[in-house]
Structure 1
Amino acid sequence: MPPGGRPTVRSRRLGAALKRHREAAGADQATAAEAILKSVSKVSRLESGLTSASALEVRTLLDCYGVQDAGERARLEGWAKTGNQRGWWLDFQETVTPDYADHITLENEATYIRSWQPVLIPGLLQTAEYAESVITSGPTFIAADMAARLVQVRQERQRRIAQGGVQFAAVIWEPAITSLASVPAIAGPQWSRLLEVGDRYNVTVQMLPASAGRAAGVAGPFVSFSFGDEPTVEAVAVENLPNTSVIEAPDDLALYVNVFDRLRSTALSSEETADRIRQLLKNA
């Protein structure tokens, strides 16, 4: 069973994929249950993500559904094998909420990440000083030791970008960048970080001009994730005040893909963005 008795993002993704293939094959849950020699309730729990599927169960179900695509089979069997794999963030269980753990899981497994931020610098691009200021200025009190652990988690998350293991694209509304000027001690290092990270081959940073307020107001902050060789979005994390919601319904995903494409096309190029940030540093 997924940790904590709740569906994890891994188990939900696998369950949804198995359900999709079953329905495409015109099979019911009773047929699936017979194939793996389990109960119908077991199949129902698998498809809802409430329990984990073994790689053998996944292989048997895909055989039953007539799924021949080798890449899809390998992907789903891989999910089953790593479904209970311990992530580094579990070392911070007292700090990382279940919703945050889901977000980190998506981030850790993604091959493409796209982030829209109208208010803050994306977490994957934040300096430690900036991260601490954001964490401690939230609506709830956070003790100094807890804040320090959250900053550490944020820095650990940034390792994938540093190691080149993921393609990351960020669109940031200009006020989120320029407003840092009021705190010079944080602004300079953070602007320099944007330039340094944005120069990496696997990272693109674009500034949406302040004048594009209509475009900026279309959606609040969100992050989309792709997991294969192609940048097909399979999950979106939407940031709310109390938590983060993960969206996986195809029609809803299409809306976020469209919004991000519009934001990216309206934003300055990465080169123009770097020039604007250099000007901010020069004038600081």
Structure 2
Amino acid sequence: MPYSPLVPTIRHRRLGQALKRFRNDAGMTLEGVAGAMGWTVSKLSKIENARQKIRPAEVTAVLRVCGVKDRMAFNALENLAKDAGKKGWWQTYSGVVSPAYGDYISHEDDAEHICEWAPLAIPGLLQTATYARETMIATSQTRTSEDIAALAEVRQARQAVLSRPGNPLQLWAIIHEAALHIRFEIRPATMREQLRKLLDASEMPNVTVQIMPSNSTVHPGMFGGFSLIGFPAPFPDIVLLENLAGATYLEGEETHPFATAVDRIRATALPVEDSLSRIAQMEERYRK
């Protein structure tokens, strides 16, 4: 049977990065850990670079070689090794979900909390199906109507992370007031329904919505939107930056300015109760 190289998933990459980080923290070389495991250096290098699978029992052994004592780290990496090769539900939409978008959904699926600063549009996890479809129609330059319908379904399916049993995603969304004034000429009721969706979602204990008023003072969010994505220990936070050209991820020390920015953006936005009052007032005006 011919050799089929591993097609790395985002979980394979996260697992490999974590193992490499623990090895470096222990001050051990590839040669040292590989020798202790009875492996070739090539095998360990491929595992760390997500080009070869590793079994949960092997993850445990590597962590022990590196002197890791944290039981949570053992559990997290063992579970990731079990799930690394599993297909996500979004892969049934492979015809319209790009690899980069699939990576993001995988991040979102594994995340513990997300803080999103949205200066131009409602965050995807809080969008109605109509809002999602109408904004895609307006912004897409190459998608067919069938593609857009499928992508709108994907966006709705992503919202299941907010109600997953046991560990629902903690979402904190800060939305600029300008995003609430977008007009939908084809279906004028779209924004009213979207505002109601924000109010309904905010009743969930794991969802917080704030509004950045149009007359706010200056703040670091003026440089553009971003999502700060946090995972259970020992996996580090990442930051997602998006534009028409695609998505960029930041890791490690590059995320630190965004963590600081989030606190300042929250402090500048309206308090939560005032934000919900502002949304309710706007929703009422759309009814008239």
TM-score normalised by L of structure 1:
0.91
Alignment check: 8 A CA contact 1:215 1:263 kept: yes
Deviation sequence 1:241-280 (CA, Å, 0-9, x none): 222222222x111111111111111111221111111111
- Amino acid paired to 2:257: L
Query: Unaligned 5+ residue runs, structure 2?
Result: none
Secondary structure in structure 1 of the residue aligned to 2:139: coil
Tell me the residue number matched to 2:124.
123
> Which residue pairs with 2:237 in the alignment?
234
Name the amino acid aligned to 1:154.
R
**Which aligned pairs between 1:84-103 and structure 2 lie closer than 5 A?**
84-103=85-104
Aligned residue for 2:149? 148
Matches within 5 A, 1:100-115: 100-115=101-116
Question: CA deviation digits over 1:58-113, x for unaligned, max 9?
Answer: 11111111111111111111111111112111111111111111110111111211
Following TM superposition, by how much is the alpha carbon of 1:225 offset from its aligned partner in structure 2, in angstroms?
1.8
Give the counterpart of 1:245 among 245, 248, 251. Answer: 248
**Aligned partner letter, 1:259:** A
- The answer to whether structure 1 residue 208 and structure 2 residue 212 are counterparts is yes
CA distance in 2 between partners of 1:162 and 1:81 (Å) = 23
2:182 maps to 1:190: no
**How many angstroms does 1:5 deviate by?**
5.5
Query: Which letter maps to 1:263?
Result: I
**Quick one: structure 1 residues 263 and 255, their matched pair in 2 at CA, closer, same or farther if it must change by over 3 Å?**
same
2:179 counterpart of 1:176: yes
The 1-side partners of 2:138 and 2:149 are apart by 13
Count of residues in correspondence between the two structures: 280
Could you say what secondary structure the match of 1:214 adopts? coil
Contact 1:233 1:257 in 2 (8 A): no
2:282 alignment partner in structure 1? 280
Instruction: After superposition, give the CA deviation of every residue in 1:31-68 in whole Å (9 maximum; x if it has no partner).
Output: 22223333212222222223332212211111111111
Matched, 1:39 2:40: yes
Name the % identity: 34
CA distance in 2, matches of 1:277, 1:131: 19
Deviates more, 1:110-119 or 1:31-40: 31-40
Counterpart contact for 1:124–1:157, Cα < 8 Å? yes
Cα deviation 1:10-39 (Å, max 9, x = unaligned): 122211111111112121101222233332
Is the counterpart of residue 255 in structure 1 residue 257 in structure 2?
A: yes
75-84 vs 4-13, which moves further:
4-13
**For 1:104 and 1:85, how far apart are their aligned partners in 2?**
14
Corresponding residue SS for 2:223: coil
Task: Extract unaligned runs of 5+ from structure 1.
Answer: none
**CA 1:204/1:98 → structure 2, altered by over 3 Å: closer, same or farther?**
same
Q: Which has the higher mean CA deviation after the structures are superposed, 189-198 or 107-116? A: 107-116
- Partners of 2:5 and 2:51 within 8 A in 1: no
Paired residue secondary structure (1:51): coil
**d(CA) in 2 for partners of 1:270 and 1:4?**
50
Contact in 1 for aligned 2:240/2:249 (Cα 8 Å): yes
Cα offset, 1:139, TM superposition: 4.7
Note if 1:56 corresponds to 2:57: yes
Distance 1:190 1:4, change over 3 A: farther
Length-normalised TM-score, structure 2? 0.90
The answer to whether the 8 Å contact 1:121/1:172 transfers is yes
Give the AA of the match of 1:252.
E
Partner SS state of residue 168, structure 1: strand
Question: Structure 1 residues 206-215 or 12-21, which shifts more?
Answer: 206-215
User: Does structure 2 retain, via aligned residues, the 8 Å contact 1:118–1:216?
Assistant: no
Taking a change above 3 Å as real, the CA distance of residues 88 and 21 of structure 1, as seen in their structure-2 partners, is same
Deviation at 1:233, TM superposition (A): 5.6
Root mean square deviation of aligned Cα: 2.2
- CA-to-partner distance for each residue in 1:131-158, whole Å, 9 max, x for gaps? 0111112252211110000000000001
Q: CA deviation at 1:178?
A: 2.2
